A and B are shown apart, each in its own frame.
Chain A
Amino acid sequence: MPLNEPEERKPSGKAERPTDVTTETLVADRSLGAAPVGWDADMAVTALYSAHYRSLVRLAVLLVRDMATAEEVVQDAFVAIHGAWRRLRDTDKALAYLRQSVVNRSRSVLRHRAVVEKYAPKGMPDAPSAENGAIGEFERSAVIEALRGLPARQREALVLRYYGDLSEAQIAHAMGISKGAVKSHTARGMAALRTSLEQLS
C-alpha cells in the first residue's frame, strides 16, 4: 500500500472494476451538470430523482439492510433537499447533499433500530432468499453477512468506498468525519471483514 496517497485516490483495481450504473451515478455529478442552477425546487427534485434515486436507494439498502426503510430514507432526503433548495448555495453539489442526507438518515435509522432491537424480543434470523440459494453465491451472501456484522461507521466507509466508489474526501464529507477517520474505519472494517470471511472459508 503506498504511503502517500492523494486525497482523491480511488480504491485500487480501477481497471478491473465493474462499470455499474449505480457506481457511475453515485460518483459523478455530471448527470445534472449546471442545469439545476436556474431550476426551482420541483424541477430539481424531478431531475435528481430520475438521475440518482435508484442508486441512492441501493446505497441506503446496503446501509440499513431494509428495502422499505431505504426507500423511506431516500424519500426523506429528497423532501429535505426540496425544502432546502433555495438555501443550497452550490446546486452542483445537490448529489453530495443527498448522499450525506442519506448516510445521516441511515445512521439515525440504525441507531433507532439498535435501541428497538435491544429491548424487543429476538426474532427469527433472515433466511436467504430462493434466488440466492439458487445462484449459490455463497461468497456474496457471506460477504454481505460479514458486512452487516461490522460497526456502522466501518460499514458506511466500506460501502461508500467499494460500492459508491467515492474518494476519501467525499466519504469524509458524506460521513461528517475527517479523512484520517475514513482511513481508519476503512482499514479496520476490511480487517474485520477478512477475519470473518477467513473463518467462513
Chain B
Amino acid sequence: MTDSPDEYGELLRRALSAEANSVVPSPDGLEIIRARIERRGFRWLTWWRTGASVAGALLVAATIVMVVPQFREQVIPQVSTGTVNFTESTPPPDGSATSRPPAPPQPSSGPAQLPAVGRSEAGSPTLPPTPTPSRSTTPSTRPTSRATPAPSTHRPTPTPTCPTPLDDPPVDPSGISKQCEEAEATPTPTKTRPSAPSESPCSADECGPSDDASPPMPTEASIPAPTPVSS
C-alpha cells in the first residue's frame, strides 16, 4: 500500500517535468520586466509631481493668506498717518477742515488775532490746519499761517496770494509795501483785501524780512502789484 503513493508520485513527477519542459518562455521577458519597472518609476514620478504641485499650491495659498493681512495692517496705519501729515504739510487743502473744530473758538473773537498768533508761535504742529481756513474765511488764521510757513519758507500759502512777493521781499521790502498799497487800490484782490487789512498789524517792514510773513497781509495786496511791475 505504501508503494502506490510513491508510484503515483513518480508518475506525477514525470508528468509535471514533461509538461514544464514543453513550456518555453518568451525571450523578451527581461525587456518586458524592465519596461514595467520603468513604467512603475514613471508612475511614482507622476505621483511625486502631483504631490509637489499640490504642495506648491498650498504653499502659495498659505503665503498669500499670510501676506495679505499684514499688507492690510500696514496699509491702514500708513494711510491714517499719511493723511495727518498731509494736512499738516499743506495748509491750503481742505484736509484742514478736519482741524477746523479747534479753530472756530479762535475766530469767534474778532480781535483774537493776537492770541492766535501767539498760539501759532507756541505750538507749531496744531497751527498748520488753521492757516488754511484763515485765508478764506477769517483773518485770524492767516497769522497762524505765518507761523507755520516759518519753518518752510517756500510753503504754498503765500503762493496763492502772492507768489512773486516770496522772491521779491528780500530784494526790496519797501517796494513790497508800496506794491501792497497799490494792490489795495487794484480791484482784483478786493475779495481778499478785507481780510488782509484786518491782519495788517504787521508793518511793511515786518512783512519784508519774513518771506512767509508777507503772505497774510501784504500777499493779497502784493499779488497784483508785482505782476504788473514785472510785466
21 A–B contacts from the bound complex (CB under 8 Å) = A13-B6, A17-B13, A20-B20, A45-B34, A49-B33, A58-B23, A61-B19, A71-B26, A71-B29, A75-B29, A75-B33, A79-B40, A139-B15, A140-B18, A144-B15, A147-B16, A158-B12, A159-B16, A162-B9, A194-B4, A197-B8
Q: Which residue of B lies closest to A76 (CB)?
A: B36
Binding site for B on A (CB under 8 A): 1, 11-13, 16-18, 20, 22-23, 45-46, 49, 53-54, 57-59, 61-62, 67, 70-71, 74-76, 78-79, 82-83, 131, 137, 139-140, 143-144, 147, 158-159, 162-163, 190, 193-194, 197
Task: Determine the main DSSP class of B at the interface with A.
Answer: helix
Verify A62–B9 contact, CB threshold 8 A.
no
- Which chain A positions have C-beta within 8 A of B8? 190, 193-194, 197
Task: Determine the main DSSP class of A at the interface with B.
Answer: helix
- Which chain A positions have C-beta within 8 A of B30? 46, 49, 53
Q: Which residue of A lies closest to B15 (CB)?
A: A143
Interface size on B, residues (CB 8 A): 30
B22 interface residue per 8 A CB criterion: yes
Closest chain-A Cβ to B199's Cβ sits at a distance in Å of 94
- Which chain A positions have C-beta within 8 A of B29? 49, 53, 57, 71, 74-75
- Which chain B positions have C-beta within 8 A of A193? 8, 12
Other CB < 8 Å A-B pairs besides A75-B29, A79-B40, 19 of them? A12-B6, A22-B21, A23-B17, A45-B34, A46-B30, A53-B25, A58-B20, A58-B21, A62-B20, A82-B33, A83-B37, A83-B40, A139-B15, A140-B14, A140-B19, A143-B16, A144-B16, A190-B5, A194-B4
